[in-house]
Amino acid sequence: MFLILYHPVWFEGLSTLMEKEKTKFFSMTRNFLRKQFSRKNSSFHQLKNLLDDKVEKLEVLSAELRQKNVQLKKQYDELCAQSDRIDLQYQLIELMNAELNSHSKKLEEKVNERTKELEHSNRLLKRYNENLEQYTFAISHQLKAPIARVLGLTQLMRIVPELERISINENLHSEAKELDGIFKQLVHALNLKHDSTAIKVENLNIESLLHETWEMLRRQSDAEARLECKVIGDASLDTDKNHLTEAVAHILANALKFHKPQCGARVKAEIVRGKEWMKIRIKDNGIGFDTEDVAEKLFTPFSKFNVTHSGRGMGLYLTKQHVSILGGDVWVASRLNKGTETIIELPLN
């Protein structure tokens, strides 16, 4: 069998058969591939045509989008320009509002300031009217007795003998001096009102001012007297020396004048400096008076609260006037036989 398979004639025929089959296989393969290629080529062309159509549509859409983009950009630029104009107008409105608010605030401040000035003027006018009434009443009351005495003495001069006229002349002179003193105090009080703006501010040591004023008054008095001064805080104050000296002089003079003879004049002063005000408290051990009974006329002119001593009753009134000119205030508390306490409050500024 081995010999038959490898026989040369048979092998040649087998080779020829295999060659034919090979050629046939290649031909079939080529035809198959050609058909497949033709089919694929047709699908490719269809796909290419479809893609070309899509590309063309996309280009149309892209052109439309570019046109719309241009339009949108134009609209955006217009909106930006409008926004800039709106911002500018808003800024102008803000500036106008700020300016209006500033003018409104200034106008309101001026109105408030003017209102305060008018209220202050009304208070001053009311106070001046009250003072005028007090002056009218006080002057008429104070001058009535001296004038009546002068008239009585002049009438008496006409009927008495020559020798007795010398005594009447002396009485007339005494009454004339009394009238002159009254007029001088009235003029001084009136000058205080007219010269209230003439204030010379300087830095004062209030403790030193009290001691100096006390020593000046004590040398003019026969009373045994002593002043004790206590300072809480700084005793310096920027104010007018003349007005403050006059104010404390009236208080200290009353302490010397209305002292108890059996124990002499003992005065305790306390100076307290706060944040905005300085208080000067002056307390004596004098005969005193009941302030509750005379509260309404405590600071009115020619008000006398003790008939055992001479005087015109101008001390507290003038003290009040001097302190008011300095922008301060005065309080008085007194009890009969218990002494008097006076408090002066002055602004630091």
Per-residue pLDDT of the chain (349 residues; tens, 9 = 90+): 444 444 566 666 777 777 777 787 778 887 777 777 777 777 777 888 888 888 888 888 888 888 888 888 888 888 898 888 898 888 989 999 888 888 888 888 989 988 988 888 888 778 767 766 666 666 665 666 677 777 777 777 777 777 677 777 777 777 777 677 666 766 666 666 555 556 788 999 999 999 999 999 888 877 788 899 999 989 999 999 989 999 999 999 888 888 887 888 899 999 999 999 999 999 998 888 888 888 777 887 777 777 666 666 778 888 988 898 889 999 999 988 888 999 999 998 7
Phi-psi category of residue 343: left, alpha or beta, with phi > 0 → left and psi -120 to 50 → alpha:
beta
Give every CB contact of residue 264 below 8 A, 6+ residues apart in sequence.
223, 224, 225, 226
Give every CB contact of residue 268 below 8 A, 6+ residues apart in sequence.
227, 228, 229, 230, 282, 283, 284
Beta bridge partners, 204, equal 237
pLDDT confidence of residue 52: 83
Domains of the chain: 201-349 (3.30.565.10)
pLDDT confidence of residue 3: 44
pLDDT confidence of residue 282: 95
Separation of alpha carbons 155 and 262, rounded Å? 44
Separation of alpha carbons 175 and 85, rounded Å? 91
List, edge to edge, every strand of the sheet that includes 265-273.
225-232, 265-273, 277-284, 339-347, 329-335
Paired sense of beta strands 201-205 and 236-240, if any = antiparallel
pLDDT confidence of residue 151: 75
pLDDT confidence of residue 239: 92
Residue 58, SS3 per DSSP = helix
Give every CB contact of residue 331 below 8 A, 6+ residues apart in sequence.
342, 343, 345
Separation of alpha carbons 325 and 251, rounded Å? 17
pLDDT confidence of residue 48: 80
